[in-house]
Structure 1
Amino acid sequence: MSFSPNKSPTKAAHEHALLLNAIAAGANEYPKPEHVNYTYGTAGFRTLATKLPSVLFRVGLLAVLRSKRLEGATIGVMVTASHNPEPDNGVKLVDPSGEMLDPTWEAHATALSNCPSTESLISTFTTLATHLRVDLSQPANIVYAYDTRPSGPELIKALERGFESFGESVKTNNLGVTTTPILHYVVKATNDKTGTYGEPTKKGYNEKMAKAFRTLIGNRGPLAPLYVDCANGVGALALQDFTATLGDVLPINPLNTSTSTQGSLNHSCGADFVKTKQALPPSIQSSGVLSKAGTRACSFDGDADRIVYYYLHESKGTFRLLDGDKIAVMVAMFLGDLIVKAKLDEEHKLEVGVVQTAYANGSSTKYLTSRNIPVSCVPTGVKHLHHAAQRYDIGVYFEANGHGTVLFSDQAIKALKSANPQSPDSANAIKNLLAFSELINQAVGDALSDMLLVETVLAHRGWGAAEWDAGYEDLPNRLVKVEVPDRSIFVATDAERKLQHPQGLQDTIDETVKKYDMGRSFVRPSGTEDCVRVYAEAKTATEAENLAVAVTDIVKFGSGQV
């Protein structure tokens, strides 16, 4: 920890003392609850909102440290619990590039949040600042936002109390109530020194995407109407703002938009409900809006960083889910076709690759690999997917739950901009690829951006939902949440496809899986909830259900519940 060499030792010591006193005063206002252990997981801290005020104060301290360490680069803080029930809340930090917090700093966040007293917090803070060589006289810049949860405003106060400890050296930009992807976009745009990524505001976000979408749709609009389940969350507000910017190119009918109704957030609606239950939200089922053949709909989650599509089968009337796997396959195949049409020379040749997790349906992986699209499998969590996708010229990553995006490397953008088109078709393909790079939120998964991505590909292909769905048939699958006394005893390896601990459990699972035709199952501790997740797939729905039940019993036995 250091202060500016231009200051006298006496003045520096005085400012140091003032800072520590301010931190102590804030820590006393927001003491850590006893018998609570916090972990910065795949989506930051997430638990009951009533347990989080002390965490928010300390995250405020860490965000400032991170910005100062990076010489004033803007850091983002998002207060949200995404798809979790309304009583929960959470907080995560966003690095200057718009990506998740540098993994090496996750331990620092956990350490600060678990300090049991004001004294230990001061000690840990001082040690961290020294160890990380933070010049505390550096300026800091923070952008922060929150979703529509009732607990948000109080938690924001605790966060701001952390910022205030540093006095005037910290400049903040409160975006208010907005989506997680917009916060990521604003962080990335603010730190973009070239000024080409976009205006770092909500307005800039809407205008950037609307312009790219209009370019890609061309004279194909207006498109068929789309129904959008907003999960009674902040996505409803973002969608309203965006449609005002876009106009009538894509007629949108928003559903589940009750952002101020207590208990409504994610309740029997939203992407997680649809994916987990594999059924229409009751509100959409009863409304009958999908009864007309060919009508498609999609669902956001609570903070609008996930999306899944669905429709009702024309003849059978059965529910058909088009999840993250279906999106990834369609988008990767389409971008691959565009690259072929672009006819780039060897110097500018580009490769599209797909990154999946163990949750990806086996049929999607088989479909891609059989068509020579490279596929990587990584552990669950955006940070793992994002980094793996960066290894491709154009990296497509989507979790089955609908969280994902497409990354265009700097080299890919450079190659496209410098390419010499060989024909009008080649020029058009290059123009469209560049427009896709503008349409897609490359900082993080974004329900709104991904919705436009899907609509663009469908429009170019001339497809409805049924034609999209016809590419391959998902293997029937089940995802079960198993509450256990201690999820930490479950340790997964091999991109979370195998259990390392408790010892012997994986062997039992393997023997069970062998009994089912085309069976596959894995167990992993949740990164966002106090539970273990069991995934199972097999040739028939009955077998998938039976396999899930069998593996759930194995998990309960391994955790000492049976």
Structure 2
Amino acid sequence: MASSLPVDAIRELSQKHEKPANVHFQYGTAGFRTLGNLLDSVMFRVGILAALRSKRLDGKTIGVMITASHNPEPDNGVKLVDPRGEMLEAAWETHATNLANAPTTDAFIDALDAFVKILRIDLSKPARVDGFKAIGAEARNAGVTTTPVLHYLVKAINTKGTKDAYGDDSEEGYLRKLSTAFKKLVAGKPAIPPLVVDCANGVGAIVGEKLSEKLGDTLKLILHNTAINTAGALNNACGADFVKTSQRLPPSLASVLKPGQRACSLDGDADRLIYYYLDDRGQFHMLDGDKIATLVSTFIVDLTKSAGLEGEIQVGIVQTAYANGGSTKYLSERLPVKCVPTGVKHLHHAAEHYDIGVYFEANGHGTVLFSPETLEKLSSYQPSTPAQSTALNHLINLTQVINQTVGDALSDMLLVEVVLAHKSYSGVEWDSLYVDLPNRLVKVVVPDRSIFKTEDAERRLVSPPGLQAKIDELVRRYDGGRAFVRPSGTEDVVRVYAEASVRSQADELAFRVAGLVYDEVGGDPAKRPAEFL
């Protein structure tokens, strides 16, 4: 080992950030997530972990994001961004969890020392951490921005000056890249009606305002819920998660939205997007991640055909068990569909196996990935007709308007608007591509979520034994019935998802399955609620 840990410096600083007793931290897909007032020690240790990750990767820049995501304000979190702008390598999630849970400063230093030796980290290597300073790492503060912008910045910094250069490594570069590509994609199309954007009183309001200036009259954004300095406002009765889970309009937009007008909600850190509209009768219609995936993937398939690249480029779509059965049926008749366990890392990894991989979770988090070979093919392909040339240019500009590092609400919003402009769709035509099966999501609080284990991309339970057979028996009684149970990755709750051909039956199936789960964990029958929400 060319160098050793600066133990004295780490000890001195670590003692200012002692781990609280009786709290267990877990690094999951969304990083560390818990109440902000418990995270002091985690923030310090993550800084060191990020520096070590950078050293392990020969000084590549690592991103650190502090975010409340889609959760209410007391909740907070921190996560790492790997060099290509992707999520932290899965194997390092365990290392992060172990280091965060070392009970004392001495135990933390011992764990660090063992970790450095096991992974053979050369401590003499430089370390670059974007957004955090730790153990002598060169740091750059990206300021207050969205999670997707940080992912963009990390990739842009690490690809700077190479043939794979992703863009100018600044927020301004991000805004310019997206807006320029968007303007090219909608050039010559009829004027786009203004779009109402619910910013969830989060950081998307700041970046959304800057994007709005760049877009000008090409796409007028009407920003709402922009109170970023109001205590308790973040994600409160607004934002993508509120719309998805309550399946209704944010109350703050009730007097704003007119029938037929499009609107969308970002989440607090602007990496999720849900669209919706009111019909002529004022009825609310949600266009979630499944609807976005369907709109986008079929458009890209059409473009590859129009460019003369059918058979040359395979477009595939990745979903989770939460994807609505209506969308899965529609898509599987048109292109390859793969189901993977919940979590962005699973979706992103599976999407990389296609030439063009589209993934969206029903909650509105998703993006489109173009493989390096596909990008090369698009740049070298010689179209033989003007129509092919036009379609090819559209595909190339799509690679610029899409943030391929991670789900990005603002980038995805522009992508949706491109497709709607090309198809001359309103929300009504988009919504009518397929009919969502009525569904219900219920959560059951349990003493220990670890007893619930799944297989088949989380669609079937293998533990507790016998519970899946009971669920199967219930599901068979409902027309179009489907249900699955999976433990939460962040809290001691079990999530129950159910579908049926009729709304009342979907509700009933969800609560009956929730009842089976409640009984399985020995819940008090007297307290067995009729509804578990």
The bucket for the TM-score relative to the shorter chain is over 0.9
Q: 1:342 aligns with which of 297, 304, 307?
A: 307
Cα deviation 1:413-432 (Å, max 9, x = unaligned): 11111111111000000000
1:558 maps to 2:525: no
Among 284, 288, 297, which residue is 2:263 paired with?
A: 297
What is the TM-score normalised by the length of structure 1? 0.91
Query: What SS does structure 2 have at the residue aligned with 1:30?
Result: coil
Distance apart, 1:221 and its partner CA: 5.3
Using the alignment, how far apart are the partners of 1:330 and 1:345 within structure 2?
Answer: 19
Corresponding position: 1:436 with 2:398:
yes
- State yes or no: 1:182 paired with 2:149: yes
- Note if contact 2:167-2:174 (Cα within 8 Å) is conserved in structure 1: yes
Aligned-residue offset at 1:511: 1.0
Instruction: Answer whether contact 1:305 1:403 (CA < 8 A) is retained.
Output: yes
User: Matches of 2:213 and 2:356 in 1, distance apart?
Assistant: 31
Shift of 1:345: 7.6
In 1, are the aligned partners of 2:26 and 2:490 still within 8 Å (CA)?
no
Name the counterpart of 2:330: 367
* In the alignment, structure 1 residue 21 sits paired with structure 2 residue 14: no
Task: Determine which of 260, 270, 273 is the counterpart of 1:307.
Answer: 273
Residue 77 of structure 1: which of 64, 67, 78 is its match? 64
Q: Percent identity?
A: 57
Q: Which amino acid aligns with 2:147?
A: T
2:201 to 212, 232, 235: 232
Match for residue 140 of structure 2 among 166, 173, 186: 173
* Aligned partner letter, 2:172: K
Are 2:177 and 1:208 aligned?
yes
Instruction: Tell me, yes or no, if the aligned pair for 1:221 and 1:249 is still in contact at 8 Å.
Output: no
Q: What is residue 150 of structure 1 aligned with on the other side?
A: none
> 1:344 offset after TM fit, Å?
2.8
- Residue aligning to 1:219: 188
* Counterpart secondary structure, 2:166: coil
User: For residues 93 and 345 of structure 1, what CA distance do their matches in structure 2 show?
Assistant: 38
Q: What's the CA shift string for 1:69-101, capped at 9, x where partnerless?
A: 111000011111311111010111111011100
Q: Aligned to 2:187, what secondary structure does the other structure show? A: helix
8 Å Cα contact 1:344-1:419 kept in structure 2: no
1:197 to 162, 166, 181: 166
Residue correspondences, number: 522
- Structure 1 distance, partners of 2:199, 2:446, is 31
Please report how far the alpha carbon of residue 529 of structure 1 lies from its aligned counterpart in structure 2 after TM superposition. Answer: 3.6
5+ residue gaps in structure 1? 4-11, 145-158
Q: CA RMSD in A?
A: 1.2
Contact residue 304 and residue 310 of structure 2 kept, 8 A: no
On the 8 A contact 2:50/2:129 being kept in 1, the answer is yes
Q: Partner residue of 2:455?
A: 493
Alpha-carbon offset, residue 51 of structure 1:
1.2
**1:105-184 maps to which residues of 2 (within 5 A)?**
105-144=92-131, 160=133, 163=134, 166-167=135-136, 170-184=137-151
TM-score by length of 2: 0.96
State the partner residue of 2:314: 351
Query: Shift of the alpha carbon at 1:195?
Result: 6.1
Superposed CA deviations along residues 347-405 of structure 1, whole A, max 9, x for unmatched, are xx10110000000000100001122x100000000000000000001000000000000
Give deviations 1:94-133, integer Å, cap 9, x for gaps: 1101110011111110110010111111101001111111
Runs (4+) of structure 1 exceeding 4 A deviation are none
Query: Larger deviation: 25-34 or 202-211?
Result: 25-34
- For 2:112 and 2:392, the matched residues in 1 are separated by 50
SS in 2 for 1:219: coil
Q: Aligned partners of 2:171, 2:102: CA distance in 1, in Å?
A: 36
Corresponding position of 1:152: none
Give the superposition deviation at 1:177.
1.0
Residue 294 of structure 1 deviates from its aligned partner by: 1.8
Q: Distance in 1 between matches of 2:251 and 2:465?
A: 42
Aligned to 1:7: none
Q: What are the Cα deviations for residues 19-77 of structure 1, in whole angstroms up to 9, with x where unaligned?
A: 11111112211111111111111211101111111111111111000000111000011
Q: SS of the residue aligned with 2:141?
A: strand
Residue 531 of structure 1: aligned partner: 493
Q: Which residue of 2 aligns with 1:332?
A: 297
Structure-2 separation of matches of 1:221 and 1:449:
21
Q: Report the secondary structure of 2:41's partner residue.
A: helix
Distance 2:12 2:465 in 1: 47
- What are the residue-to-residue correspondences of 1:5-16 with 2, within 5 Å? 16=4
Q: 1:53 aligns with which of 28, 36, 40?
A: 40
Shift of 1:491: 1.6
CA distance in 2, matches of 1:59, 1:117: 15
* Distance in 2 of aligned mates of 1:546 and 1:180: 38
1:407-426 correspondence runs (5 A)? 407-426=369-388
Q: Which residue of 1 aligns with 2:22?
A: 35
Larger deviation: 456-465 or 244-253? Answer: 244-253
Contact 2:273 2:409 in 1 (8 A): yes
Gap regions ≥5 residues in structure 2:
525-533
Q: Residue 311 of structure 1 aligns to a residue in which SS?
A: strand
Matched, 1:383 2:345: yes
What is the CA distance between 1:139 and its match in structure 2?
0.5
Between 80-89 and 435-444, report the one with greater CA deviation.
80-89
Distance in 2 of aligned mates of 1:180 and 1:221: 32
Q: Is the 8 Å Cα contact of residues 222 and 251 (structure 1) preserved in structure 2? A: no
